Amino acid sequence: GAVVSQHPSWVICKSGTSVKIECRSLDFQATTMFWYRQFPKQSLMLMATSNEGSKATYEQGVEKDKFLINHASLTLSTLTVTSAHPEDSSFYICSARASGRAEQYFGPGTRLTVT
Amino acid sequence: GQQLNQSPQSMFIQEGEDVSMNCTSSSIFNTWLWYKQDPGEGPVLLIALYKAGELTSNGRLTAQFGITRKDSFLNISASIPSDVGIYFCAVPGGSNYKLTFGKGTLLTVNP
């Protein structure tokens, strides 16, 4: 149980275009979903927290107009990187938490490369 | 904010050896989580601890929630090559249970 999927697993896009990443909880309802970014050989950096049906809460320094997050249902959250630039190239990972539970279950990650 | 001190930063061991790593903090927590991350993958939850003094096993892995609630330990017995990866401790906090992570322990197992 507690499986989280992400799609796509990798994507290459041109500078200036937008990319959408999906995160799904497959066998539980995710009250809260989280989006992280990870640079090589570093720990995960939280970008934003989203609760189903509410606006996402962004961490300091994360541009909410650039990283659009939608959590429209209890099993799906999306992250859209708008007007992507090469510096947005990174490994993006989502996680999900069920109501009343502290543990987060992570997706397999999405490798974004902006050329 | 909360800070977790995870050690060691890296370990190089021979297959079959036991491994021990730990996380400490100056703050008290109600939950400790241990994750493993393979290269190019998302972290996988190994063990969740909910009570001070709790000792929980998952196969060859054993983790303990320190009695002071300020630390936790993860032990791996009889290591095998597939144990290679980065191990993170984490604690949830706040109304959304946001995770604070340790900096990770990179484990290398020589066959």
Q: How do residues A16-45 score in pLDDT, each as one tens digit?
A: 999 999 999 999 999 999 999 999 888 899
Asked if the C-beta of A98 comes within 8 angstroms of chain B's C-beta atoms, the answer is no
**What pLDDT shows up at residue B75?**
98
Residue A15 contacts residue A115 (beta carbons within 8 Å)? yes
Mutate to test the interface with A, among B10, B23, B98 (most CBs of A within 10 A): B98
pLDDT of A53 above 90: no
CB A71 within 8 A of CB A54: yes
**Residue B73: which residues within 8 A CB-CB, separation 6 or more?**
B20, B21, B22, B23, B63, B64, B66
- Asked whether residue B2 carries a pLDDT value surpassing 80, the answer given is no
- pLDDT mean over B19-42: 96
Q: A15: which residues sit within 8 A by CB, 6+ positions away?
A: A84, A85, A86, A114, A115
Interface test with B, best of A104, A110, A111, A113 (most B CBs within 10 A): A104
Interface of B with A in 67-96 (CB under 8 A): 88, 92, 96
- Chain-centroid distance of CA A52 in Å reads 14
Is 80 exceeded by the pLDDT of residue A1? Answer: no
Cβ proximity of B56 and B47 under 8 Å = yes
pLDDT (mean) for A70-83: 94
Distance between A82 CA and the closest CA of chain B, angstroms? 23
